[in-house]
Chain A
């Protein structure tokens, strides 16, 4: 009987994951020995994220493939690791005061964010479907719990349960799709799948295509693309706000990274078959996301729909599947990170104990009462819409250029049209802030952590908008 060869173990490649896991467990253990104030855990978690991100520079010559080609460290994964580290850190910063205010005194909260980040890093580095599945599950399970972490809050519970049920459903498709692809190509490694398809060694084209569709559905669910998006508004609204921000950025970026690797690298050979389906999904996401957002009055639901439309824009980068597409995906994600955390930062600042102030009407007159907060909010919203000179414009510009380079003119026209639609609801918030009279008394929770997040986000949004050069160069 043949022995299964034990893969070579490359600890340097895994260093970010290992470091972060150790920190996460450290947080869990420390949690038992400290009192009610969990702020120290937040600091430790951020330290862990920083160390972990720095560890991703372990290899000098990139890309390095290890574990029999199941795991790769390349510029793509390092860039994403940084996006994850930043987004998780910002989420933690937003959480410190929010948790105190909402009475979430659970140390596992921070550990779960770290575990989730571990899954995200695994996802963006995986080149084997088994690894990808592992990554997605680590991410998802952490998120199910995080969404429902306000155990006494009905909405939070409902969100978690819905997310879990539908997530499990989607995971089923994902796993089944992977099995079908293994059946058709005889391998789970992306490189192997790609070469088998190109060489024409596929056993059954129908099984392969079926598998691809099921994968598309699994991934589509995780990035909240239409028609698998329906969990998003409910879950975004019910989850604690910092977790909503976190979900909108980190896990979505991680799944998109895997999505990109699987479809643009793995299934490149049969692109003609899945391209149209993905385009329809992208276009529907943009339209349903933007049109759905128009009538929302709750700011978190509005942002949920907005994030559905952004998933649509991001899918365009995958459809383009050229080098500009990959780098534009990275850049877009980074701009989306700053603006999203900025918006949610403001939302959290304006909330207070017992009243989160989530109705859009409550923003009336903010521009006069708190000009700097309102200005920051306006900058984020305009950036989300894609107005120069803010980061969102540059991100959209590169994504659309990538698609144009490959000749997807109709797709880009529809995307630009959607950008225009999106201004309606982004501007609506601005109109409330600047052009209507104050309706409620503002009592912003001006916690230094949340303000720091907003400041970082403003800087990032403007810096990437006006001087995108160096970051673009990195992303390439």
Chain B
């Protein structure tokens, strides 16, 4: 009965194929409008599906599988072209297509004048399609297909400016990291198939509690291998290094990757497999630990980065850490709620940062900015809203979702003091670094007077206004979101923990971060230098991102290259090439003999047949 939901997949796919083949024939900016239109239409269909779900009884909202076509049938195994329409997938789709649509519209202005305008939009549609496929998949097979396609689309978009070496390298890095995750996913799917005999989500999730007890090895194996994929896609430790580099792509791409699509996939995966994770408390504990660690890890790095997009990128990692923390303590719908509020304010931050970069003709270093509030008042306003929301200023949407997670980190059955304190510390750091870029970029005087900043065109500002509005108010939707999602998570609605003391501490942490950065901002240059001098070793470590990239180089890249070189010279050239050439020569000779045998004379042919007859007769009858 949800067959129409296939349109959500087909619309962006059609956009991708259409723009790839015929896009060049569209005049001017038409391809941007066409690409936005298909995503907008997909959003409308998603919204319709949302209404449709609401019209059903809560228990009827889950396990709605719309089969388009029974694809493969072999014995008891069957694989259908099927999508799963339930509150979780529709919730994700609303974010993906809704925020995705706004980013598309924004890109019409942002990418204006790019020679590869059409190619950009066809990739963007591919991205939306892949992500929609990922969340709509009704089994592990199509989940992995969507998963890999998301990786492909991100590769194409991060490296979109192929003439930029750093962009190509970043794209490659993202791809490699994601493929590591894909391998984990595939292994998880194999183990699941081995255990359940099916890849279908509904079947697996109904069978799992019957077949396996708590922390059973099989379930642990599946859930942990799934996490490899989830952590790679969602940039959690230690598979996070691609995300900050992915900034090399055009800014709308960063917004798309960070807000609406891609990085949310890991959180979605854990939420989708909540039945399995509930059976594996060890894995849950692992998720929460990694999440909390990533949150603070990324938060500290963000303190000292100077590239405006890089700071926001690390804040994404940090916020994703919150989501995993929430999922890890069992508050799946809180994770989804934060995923939603984050989608709005992160898209807002990235797009307004894009507006800044656009207005400054490509400048990204905050040390070269300043005083933009007069030149770009609207951008400044919406950026401030984004900053407040990210920092968790009371009554903004970020406040509601983050505060709830921090409370759960302590009070939820799986929560503890350590998780809570990491979360609170991160909240303080968040306030610090988010206001740091705001102060640097928008207040004071311009540090680079040669560059004349200009405000962005309305087509870029309009999506910003919409996102700013939602960033402010969507926090109020919290209880509604959790009720809507409850059927997917076994009817559970996370308890809202009331604890005045802990709440105050969390708020104070945020305030402390804000005060600290304000203090630094107001200190004069001389003092600042002294502080910098004193903290230099820490600064260096943070600036170099804890040397993770260097560590990977040393441990993995260099040995791999060395092995490759060794193999190339020894096994490849002396072993394989040599033997392949020999085999080839022999095969060629045989082939020539066969051709020679075929001499065109009927008597040879007949004689041959006769010989065959004689041999077979001897062989069969007189053996």
| Chain A interface (Cβ < 8 Å from any Cβ of B) | 161-162, 165-166, 169-170, 173, 206, 209-210, 212-214, 216-217, 221, 227-228, 230-231, 233-234, 273-274, 276-277, 280-281, 288, 291-296, 421, 467-469, 472-473
Contacts and interface: CB of A to CB of B under 8 A. Distances in A.
Contact of B69 (A161, A166, A467): A467
Nearest to B80: A469
B613 A217 contact: yes
Contacts of A234: 598, 600
A294 B621 contact: no
Nearest to B604: A230
29 contacts: A161-B602, A165-B602, A166-B606, A166-B609, A209-B621, A210-B617, A213-B617, A214-B613, A216-B616, A217-B616, A221-B609, A227-B609, A228-B609, A228-B612, A230-B598, A230-B608, A234-B600, A274-B620, A292-B594, A293-B591, A294-B587, A294-B588, A295-B588, A295-B591, A295-B592, A467-B71, A469-B71, A469-B73, A472-B73
A118 to B, nearest CB: 28
B587 A209 contact: no
Contacts of A277: 616, 619-620
A173 B71 contact: no
A293 B8 CA distance: 48
Contacts of B598: 230, 233-234, 292
B595 A292 contact: yes
Contacts of A170: 609
Given A213-B616, A292-B591, 17 more contacts: A161-B602, A165-B606, A166-B605, A166-B606, A170-B609, A209-B620, A213-B617, A213-B621, A230-B605, A234-B598, A274-B620, A277-B620, A288-B594, A295-B592, A295-B594, A421-B587, A469-B70
Nearest to A205: B621
A295 B595 contact: yes
Contact of B606 (A169, A213, A296, A472): A169
A419 to B, nearest CB: 15
B620 A212 contact: yes
A391 B620 CA distance: 36
Interface in B578-623: 587-588, 590-592, 594-595, 597-598, 600, 602, 604-606, 608-609, 611-613, 616-617, 619-621
Nearest to B605: A230
B66 to A, nearest CB: 17
A161 B602 CA distance: 9
A162 B592 contact: no
B1 interface: no
A233 B602 CA distance: 12
Contact of A227 (B72, B590, B608): B608
Contacts of B600: 234
A173 B613 contact: yes
Contacts of A274: 620
Contacts of A231: 605
Contacts of A217: 609, 612-613, 616
Closest CB pairs A-B (n = 6) = A227-B612, A230-B605, A292-B594, A295-B591, A294-B591, A209-B621
A450 B73 CA distance: 34
Chain A CB within 10 A, most for which of B70, B609, B617: B609
Contacts of A212: 620
B141 to A, nearest CB: 14
A124 B73 CA distance: 27
Interface string B56-81: 00000000000001111100000000
Nearest to A225: B612
A163 B587 CA distance: 29
Contacts of B591: 291-295
Contacts of A296: 595
A93 B621 CA distance: 47
Contacts of A228: 609, 612
Nearest to B73: A469
Contacts of B587: 291, 294, 421
B602 A469 contact: no
Contacts of A467: 69, 71
Given A294-B591, A295-B591, A276 B619 contact: yes
B594 A291 contact: yes
A200 B69 CA distance: 50
A200 B620 CA distance: 19
A276 B73 CA distance: 32
Nearest to A230: B605
